[in-house]
A and B are shown apart, each in its own frame.
Chain A
Amino acid sequence: MGNLTHDEIQALAEHCEKAELQAYEITKITDDYPQMTYEDAFDIQWEARRRKEARGTKIVGMKMGLTSWAKMAQMGVEQPCYGYLADYFSVPDGGDIRMDELIHPKIEAEIAFVTKAPLKGPGVHIGDVLRATDFIVPAVEVIDSRYKDFKFDLKSVIADNSSSTRFITGGCMASLDEVDLKTLGVVMEINGEVVATGAGAAVLGHPAASVAMLANMLGERGEEIPAGTFIMTGGITAAISVKRGDAISVRYQGLGTVSARFV
């Protein structure tokens, strides 16, 4: 059930998207619209997505956020959130990420799935996901909440496309029968120094569980994950702040390295 009017949804979508495109901070929108519901928040996200597509921007994938039990407990929520990935979010492996296009970016090491069959919730489970997976590939997500000081609640962050901004993929792709996603290790380095380590289980116990949850959340809106979708499953490591001049490199067990520079 939504509490906001059609006009309010449109105005808030424009408000959030403008902050993203022009890289400036806003205050969390639930401050001004305390009556906002989760459905309203997703309506705002989908309206911003529609605005981008209307301008010719292509949607190239989906992402999950707040996928660690610790983060969910910290936010007082029982579900993660999702967002979409636009074509201009994609950065080549080893490429440059421009700081002047971002506000206060942080990086997370993730595992991305590419599907070969559609997944439509409700009722999607981890087995469905494994069957529908073409391959997995390492990814680094750059998140950049438009909210001042990264301070938000879950509804506000959903409206802000779950803080999505850039992503880098690289390294080696792998079939699911070649890797143990639960114990797959990652090592994040900034300027040659190890800043975080983790393993796949940090994502909802198993990264495939994150894809199942995405399918089920989209199912609530009558949407599905089409075959061929690129999905980033959520941070294995904590989100680490970066600054101009940083060279980042993330090593994935058996899957190579993803790197980029912030310029």
Chain B
Amino acid sequence: MMNNELIQQCGDELYAAQRNRTTVQPLTSRYSELSIEEAYQISLRLLERRLADGERVIGKKVGLTSKAVQTMLGVDQPDFGYLTDRMAYNQGEEMPIGEQLIQPKAEGEIAFILKKDLMGPGITNADVLAATECVMPCFEVVDSRIENWQIRIQDTVADNASCGLFVLGDRAVSPRQVDLTTCGMVVEKNGVLLSTGAGAAALGSPVNCVTWLANTLGRFGIGLKAGEVILSGSLVPLEPVKPGDFMSVSIGGIGSASVRFI
């Protein structure tokens, strides 16, 4: 069991690592008893520090949604983190990963924009669809403050689900217009086809991911709010990126997003 002081200390350490672009040793290598619950408390401390700097929460992300990643980390559940206004980039903008991130990796996702609040528990996929204004193509650039990405689930949970920056694409489509389970994804890096996937790669459907998020956050007394952006999880393997790289993602029936890294 961690006491409050230790939770605060870990959150502060991750906050400092993010601000200074340094890495820390895995928390799980130092606190072997660290629980997932405690890791979420650490992430809240990290968020608290960022909000104190003037950052504003604009949404949430779901991570660890692919079977391959869950198997790699030996877990059977996803995780979540917070998105702030300083993490959001628009289609066509340059993303300064060189000065902001440490060991970035890009992943193609579907973003949900909500028009109604969702407060779990008891949220179903029908509730999520009814509360979704539109879906958009998205690149999430994840990053880890843990040395060499040596993460266990508690490490990534504490580190705001390894959140970095994200870019939303060129179209917003009503969830009535697209089959989110079968919609295909094509990711290209520097003009070369890198990977393909489809909606079902994230927990069977991106809708499942948002439902899981609403119900999981509900247990902490936290809701999803109208207007929030929800990143529903990667549909393709993560790809390391560096300044100078250009990536684009196209999603069948939704649209494209592209980003140039500097």
Contact A253 B182 (CB under 8 A): yes
Contact B185 A194 (CB under 8 A): no
Is A118 part of the contact surface with B, judged by Cβ < 8 Å?
no
Is A116 part of the contact surface with B, judged by Cβ < 8 Å?
no
Contact B196 A198 (CB under 8 A): yes
Contact B181 A201 (CB under 8 A): no
Contacts of A214 in B (CB 8 A): none
Q: Which of B67, B179, B182, B185 has the most CB of A within 10 A?
A: B182
* Binary per-residue interface labels of chain A (4-17) against chain B in the complex, 1 for a CB within 8 Å, 0 otherwise: 00000000000000
Contact A197 B193 (CB under 8 A): no
Choice from A180, A184, A199, A254 contacting B197 with Cβ under 8 Å: A199
Contacts of B201 in A (CB 8 A): 194, 197
Contacts of A198 in B (CB 8 A): 184, 196-198
Least CB distance from A198 to B in Å reads 4
Closest to A250 in B: B182
Contact B182 A254 (CB under 8 A): yes
Contact B198 A69 (CB under 8 A): no
Least CB distance from B48 to A in Å reads 38
Contact B196 A251 (CB under 8 A): no
Is B34 part of the contact surface with A, judged by Cβ < 8 Å?
no
**Bound complex: CA A175 to CA B186 (Å):** 21
Is B232 part of the contact surface with A, judged by Cβ < 8 Å?
no
Contact B250 A186 (CB under 8 A): no
Contact A183 B182 (CB under 8 A): no
Contacts of B184 in A (CB 8 A): 183-186, 198-201, 253
**Bound complex: CA A252 to CA B179 (Å):** 10
Q: Which of A197, A200, A202 has the most CB of B within 10 A?
A: A197
**Bound complex: CA A231 to CA B232 (Å):** 36
Least CB distance from A56 to B in Å reads 40
Q: Which of B173-201 contact A (CB under 8 A)?
A: 179, 181-186, 193, 196-201
Is A217 part of the contact surface with B, judged by Cβ < 8 Å?
no
Total number of A residues with any Cβ neighbor in B under 8 Å: 21
Contact A180 B196 (CB under 8 A): no
Contacts of A251 in B (CB 8 A): 181-182, 200
**Bound complex: CA A162 to CA B116 (Å):** 53
Instruction: Given A251-B181, A251-B182, A253-B179, decide whether A197 and B198 contact each other with a Cβ distance below 8 A.
Output: yes
Instruction: Given A251-B181, A253-B182, decide whether A186 and B252 contact each other with a Cβ distance below 8 A.
Output: no
Closest to A236 in B: B196
Q: Which of A235-263 contact B (CB under 8 A)?
A: 236, 251-254
Is A182 part of the contact surface with B, judged by Cβ < 8 Å?
yes
Contact A182 B204 (CB under 8 A): no
Is B167 part of the contact surface with A, judged by Cβ < 8 Å?
no
Least CB distance from A13 to B in Å reads 36
Contacts of B198 in A (CB 8 A): 185-187, 197-199, 253
* Binary per-residue interface labels of chain B (221-262) against chain A in the complex, 1 for a CB within 8 Å, 0 otherwise: 000000000000001000000000000001111000000000
Contacts of B196 in A (CB 8 A): 197-202, 236
Least CB distance from A71 to B in Å reads 13
Is A61 part of the contact surface with B, judged by Cβ < 8 Å?
no
Least CB distance from A254 to B in Å reads 7
Top 7 A-B residue pairs of the complex, sorted by shortest distance between their CB atoms: A185-B184, A199-B184, A185-B198, A183-B252, A197-B198, A199-B196, A253-B182
Sampled A-B contacts (10; CB under 8 Å): A187-B198, A187-B199, A198-B197, A199-B185, A199-B197, A201-B184, A201-B186, A251-B200, A252-B182, A253-B252
